[in-house]
Chains A and B, each alone.
Chain A
Amino acid sequence: MTEPGPTIVPGTGEVVSSGLEGMLGVPRQQVVRRLLRRPAGLAGAALTTLFVLTGVLGPALVPHDPAAVVGPSLSSPSLAYPMGTDALGRDLFSAVVVGARTSLVVAGLVGVLVLTIGMVVGTLSSWWGGWADDALMRLTELFQVLPRFFLAVVVGAIFGSTLPLLVLVLGLTSWPLLARVVRAEVLILKQREFVDAARVAGASGPRLVVREILPNALPAVSAFLGLVLAQVLLIEASLGFIGLGDPDIVSWGYLASQAQRFLRVAWWMSVFPGLAIGLTVLGLNLLSDAISDVLGSSR
């Protein structure tokens, strides 16, 4: 992960700022409008929407069952098979479209896990402060240095590679960035007037956090969530590529691994699944960048 990122003082693991503070009070519709006015924001939103729509509707739209042998093996892209066929004569276009659902499911479930853990750890850490903060941040650091890809490989090797297990491993290891962002945001928001006002009005701590602070931290969090999910998709694809995808499910990484053996004879087997991953990740990155941009420039 690179810019935009939270400003982290190395070693101390301190997030000084998420780089996004000050976007509070900007009406959400206005954020969306400004987002779509930027070329990067528009492209990111379009690619992400395309990804989500394909993931949701894809299996209902494809011309063939991706597991069915429908044509000659290794035929190059044509009208009948827009992305060609694989070694067994299965339609690659159908497989790529159906593969979007796998990526969407992984991204969605990992996103939920990461958001939940990140929010809980980040909020508790900043709300409690003191030694609890220290301890939680140490824990966050530990998870941050843990090489996710390799852990997922070991878990896959020992327990077998299934989708739920993959989601669990990636979800349980990808939250540190979000925890830091949430922590930094809450620390800033805690000092805002409207929080004071709510406190004066008699709101309790937990209520304050859930009703007032977290909704306001959400835009900043969503920008970083996009970056995290983009990385998660790349890791998932890499795992699929080295043969640790769920063998019962079509995924883009699995398709790319099938291409490796036929690289010289069937370029399409490599090009299209990779393009699908690249465009999806690009979309998420662009969207996240644009969100940070919009929030950052509206201070």
Chain B
Amino acid sequence: MTLRYLGWRLLQVVPTAAAILLIGFLLIHAAPGDPVLALAGQSGDAEYYAFVRDKFGLDEPLPVQLATYVGQVAQADLGTSYLQGRPVAEIIAERIPATLLLSVTALILSSVGGVALGAFAATRPHGLRDVTATGATLAVYAAPVFWLGQLAILVLAAGLGWFPVQGMTSPRSDATGMAAALDVAHHLALPALVLASQEIAAVFRLTRVGLLGELASDHVRTARAKGLAEWRVLVGHALRRPLIPVVTVIGGRAGHLLSGAIVTEIVFGWPGLGRLLLSSLQSRDTPVVLGIFLVVALFVVVANVGTDLAYRWLDPRVHYR
């Protein structure tokens, strides 16, 4: 990976990020009523509105306003929540860890699970396990994530009682240290599994197809002819190339993962961005909703670039421009 390529690729983020900010800006101005309402919320006093108006330059010409807006966002100023009377950035930042915990757990589960399932199916193509795994992932892939969550609650949490139904921690629990971590893990298991299931389907399909090709390839035959044990042929040779597109698919689905996380959080009462989004929607707290959009969109852009760089690093044959 040349530094020049790295710089060039990072430079490409700029127009995309600019476009996303422009969309945010346009939405504020296209909103019914005074744009200040979209930045400061519905129920401020006149003095506060004047302050926000001044800060975002709302009395200036539009191009100046745009520049001011971009400047404010760059300083992580996303306006003020009308409900909580606090900076939006602060409120969002509080919720990010919970969402990140859920998403990253799901990401790990789905990558490992999807690849393992793909390998499980591809080593006996068209056998019973292949057909079962393919059918199951097709079904899961088509199911809406909130429905999977509801079913999981119905069967595994409310029905069998294996998992807690709602939340991130047990109510009235004063556990600390290890016990607290285990409590969170117990709450995390089901939502993470539900969120992961859709990604598992995507990773599974890609792994399976790639692996089917690789297992019949000449270089895998060479690996076998060397005398390598079958699992080493699989892990060291056959899986290597299929993993590359899997990495890109995982990165390319960052937006999908996050929207899934939002919905999953709502189903399971997980205290992350999803819960925040829902309560902001219900109380018409537009600055927060807009802030979440900006944060997520910029994150997705970064994730895409990261994926792209990872791809080039993984495949030595890709040429840099």
Q: Which residue of A lies closest to B143 (CB)?
A: A278
- Decide if A263 touches B158 in the complex (CB within 8 Å): yes
Q: Give the contacts of A248-299 with B (CB-CB under 8 A).
A: 253, 256-257, 259-260, 263-264, 267, 270-271, 273-275, 277-279, 281-282, 285-286
CB < 8 Å neighbour of A274 from B151, B293, B312: B151
Of the candidate stretches B14-22, B48-56, B217-225, the one touching chain A is B14-22
- Tell me which residues across on chain B come within 8 A of A158, comparing CB atoms: 27, 30-32, 38, 286, 289-290
State the CA gap A238–B201 with chains docked (Å): 19
- Decide if A238 touches B142 in the complex (CB within 8 Å): no
CB < 8 Å neighbour of A277 from B147, B277, B312: B147
The verdict on B80 contacting chain A, using a C-beta distance below 8 Å, is no
A11 to chain B, nearest CB (A): 4
- Tell me which residues across on chain A come within 8 A of B300, comparing CB atoms: 145-147
The verdict on B138 contacting chain A, using a C-beta distance below 8 Å, is yes
The verdict on B282 contacting chain A, using a C-beta distance below 8 Å, is yes
A43 to chain B, nearest CB (A): 10
CB < 8 Å neighbour of A155 from B16, B27, B308: B27
A271 to chain B, nearest CB (A): 7
Most buried by A among B142, B165, B206, B292: B142
Q: Give the contacts of B66-97 with A (CB-CB under 8 A).
A: none
The verdict on B278 contacting chain A, using a C-beta distance below 8 Å, is yes
The verdict on A3 contacting chain B, using a C-beta distance below 8 Å, is yes
CB < 8 Å neighbour of A154 from B282, B290, B307: B290
Most buried by A among B32, B252, B293: B293
The verdict on B146 contacting chain A, using a C-beta distance below 8 Å, is yes
- Decide if A157 touches B289 in the complex (CB within 8 Å): yes
- Decide if A147 touches B297 in the complex (CB within 8 Å): yes
The verdict on B255 contacting chain A, using a C-beta distance below 8 Å, is yes
- Tell me which residues across on chain B come within 8 A of A270, comparing CB atoms: 147, 150-151, 154
The verdict on A10 contacting chain B, using a C-beta distance below 8 Å, is yes
- Tell me which residues across on chain B come within 8 A of A271, comparing CB atoms: 151, 154
- Tell me which residues across on chain B come within 8 A of A157, comparing CB atoms: 280-281, 284, 286, 289-290
State the CA gap A129–B18 with chains docked (Å): 25
The verdict on B188 contacting chain A, using a C-beta distance below 8 Å, is no
A-B residue pair count with CB separations less than 8 angstroms: 160
- Decide if A263 touches B150 in the complex (CB within 8 Å): yes
The verdict on A150 contacting chain B, using a C-beta distance below 8 Å, is yes
State the CA gap A156–B290 with chains docked (Å): 11
Q: Which residue of B lies closest to A265 (CB)?
A: B158
State the CA gap A109–B278 with chains docked (Å): 27
State the CA gap A270–B153 with chains docked (Å): 11
The verdict on A120 contacting chain B, using a C-beta distance below 8 Å, is no
B287 to chain A, nearest CB (A): 10
- Tell me which residues across on chain B come within 8 A of A244, comparing CB atoms: 281
The verdict on B239 contacting chain A, using a C-beta distance below 8 Å, is no
- Decide if B255 touches A149 in the complex (CB within 8 Å): yes
The verdict on B121 contacting chain A, using a C-beta distance below 8 Å, is no
- Decide if B255 touches A148 in the complex (CB within 8 Å): yes
The verdict on B209 contacting chain A, using a C-beta distance below 8 Å, is yes
Given A158-B286, A286-B138, the answer on whether A243 and B145 have CB atoms closer than 8 Å is: no
- Decide if A151 touches B38 in the complex (CB within 8 Å): no
Most buried by B among A242, A243, A271, A286: A242
Q: Which residue of B lies closest to A275 (CB)?
A: B147
State the CA gap A23–B252 with chains docked (Å): 28
- Decide if B307 touches A10 in the complex (CB within 8 Å): yes
- Decide if B206 touches A145 in the complex (CB within 8 Å): no
- Tell me which residues across on chain B come within 8 A of A188, comparing CB atoms: none
State the CA gap A187–B63 with chains docked (Å): 40
The 6 closest A-B pairs by CB, nearest first: A274-B147, A282-B142, A149-B259, A147-B255, A281-B142, A11-B308
* Residue contacts A-B, CB under 8 angstroms, 22 given: A2-B206, A10-B311, A145-B255, A145-B304, A146-B255, A157-B281, A157-B290, A158-B31, A158-B38, A158-B289, A230-B142, A234-B145, A238-B145, A238-B259, A259-B150, A263-B153, A263-B154, A263-B158, A273-B147, A274-B147, A278-B147, A281-B142
B residues contacting A by CB (< 8 A) are 9, 15-16, 19-20, 23, 27, 30-32, 38, 138-139, 141-147, 150-151, 153-154, 158, 165, 201-202, 205-206, 209, 248-249, 252, 255, 258-259, 262-263, 266-267, 277-278, 280-282, 284, 286, 289-290, 292-293, 296-297, 300-301, 304, 307-308, 311-312, 321
A residues contacting B by CB (< 8 A) are 2-3, 10-12, 138, 141-142, 145-151, 153-159, 230, 234-235, 237-238, 241-244, 253, 256-257, 259-260, 263-264, 267, 270-271, 273-275, 277-279, 281-282, 285-286
Instruction: Given A2-B202, A244-B281, output 9 extra A-B contacts at Cβ < 8 Å.
Output: A149-B259, A151-B23, A157-B286, A159-B31, A256-B146, A263-B150, A270-B150, A273-B147, A277-B144
